């Protein structure tokens, strides 16, 4: 290849770094969609019963309706999130210039849809067979989801995690751990339910803020070398 076409090693390195920063920017925006959609889904899962009670619909809001809301919310969040990542999957080859693009193999329909179906099947079966333990099971599933998010974020951002990702993981982890400790150590009461509400309300607020922050990052800042 002629020298004027090939360019110097320094120029090639600069191009690769710009490509890396561009995809990092695109990935942050896609993760912003995930934070936003699952923020809404988790809000509906945690607070739909309380909202029904506040609106005077508690008598009509049975377990079947609650499950239907959960499945619809999580299914919608999954669909929107996967679509956001699919739009940038074609750029995975860019990441291969400097890092392995493993996120493209994990955040895809073939992986997440079967997992989503399996999780909902387990929850429905547990409702039928072990209705008293459904709350703990959901928290355990959330803990598994936390682990998956951490793994997928590490694949997406092999260096330092974006600050919104750290905030989302931290708030989710605190809500899960705090809820499990409460569930296993004290009996359910009005005060305990308020504490649950504080844990998950704070998590929802942090995820909404993380989504907004990720979606409003400027491309010019990313190409200028913004690390966080």
Measure the CA–CA gap between 99 and 85, rounded to whole angstroms: 18
Residues in the chain: 228
- What's the CA gap between 133 and 136, in Å, rounded? 6
In degrees, rounded to 5, the angle at the alpha carbon of residue 70 between the alpha carbons of residues 64 and 73 is 135
Its sign, for the CA torsion 129, 194, 181, 184, is negative
Q: Is the dihedral of CA 92, 148, 79, 41 positive or negative?
A: negative
Which of 104, 112, 73 is closest to 87 using CA atoms?
Answer: 104
Q: State whether residue 27 is helix, strand or coil.
A: helix
Give mean pLDDT, residues 218-222.
64
Is the Cβ–Cβ distance between 103 and 27 less than 8 Å?
Answer: yes
With a threshold of 0.85, does the pTM exceed it? no
pLDDT above 70 as % of the chain: 71
159 C-beta neighbours (distance < 10 Å), count? 10
Domain boundaries, the chain: 9-223
pLDDT for 148 beyond 90: yes
Return d(Cα 24, Cα 221) in angstroms, integer. Answer: 11
62 vs 67, more confident: 67
Average pLDDT over residues 150-157: 91
pLDDT digits (tens, 9 = 90+) for 113-126: 999 999 888 888 87
């Amino acid at each position: 290849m002629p020298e004027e076409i090939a360019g110097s090693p320094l120029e090639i390195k600069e191009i690769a770094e710009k490509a890396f920063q561009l995809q990092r920017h695109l990935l942050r925006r896609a993760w912003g969609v995930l934070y936003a959609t699952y923020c809404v889904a988790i809000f509906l899962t945690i607070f739909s019963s309380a909202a029904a009670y506040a609106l005077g619909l508690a008598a009509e809001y049975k377990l079947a309706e609650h499950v239907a809301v959960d499945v619809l919310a999580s299914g919608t969040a999954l669909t929107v999130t996967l679509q956001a990542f699919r739009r940038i999957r074609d750029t995975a080859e860019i990441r291969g210039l400097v890092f392995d693009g493993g996120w493209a193999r994990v955040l895809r329909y073939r992986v997440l849809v079967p997992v989503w179906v399996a999780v909902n099947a387990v929850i429905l079966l547990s409702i039928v067979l072990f209705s008293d333990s459904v709350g703990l099971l959901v928290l355990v599933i959330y803990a598994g989801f936390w682990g998956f998010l951490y793994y997928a974020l590490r694949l997406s951002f092999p260096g330092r995690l974006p600050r919104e990702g750290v905030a989302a993981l931290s708030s989710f982890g605190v809500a899960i751990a705090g809820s499990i400790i409460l569930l296993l150590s004290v009996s359910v009461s009005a005060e305990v339910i308020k504490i649950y509400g504080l844990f998950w309300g704070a998590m929802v607020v942090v995820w909404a803020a993380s989504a907004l922050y990720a979606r409003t990052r400027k491309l010019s800042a990313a190409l200028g070398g913004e690390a966080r």
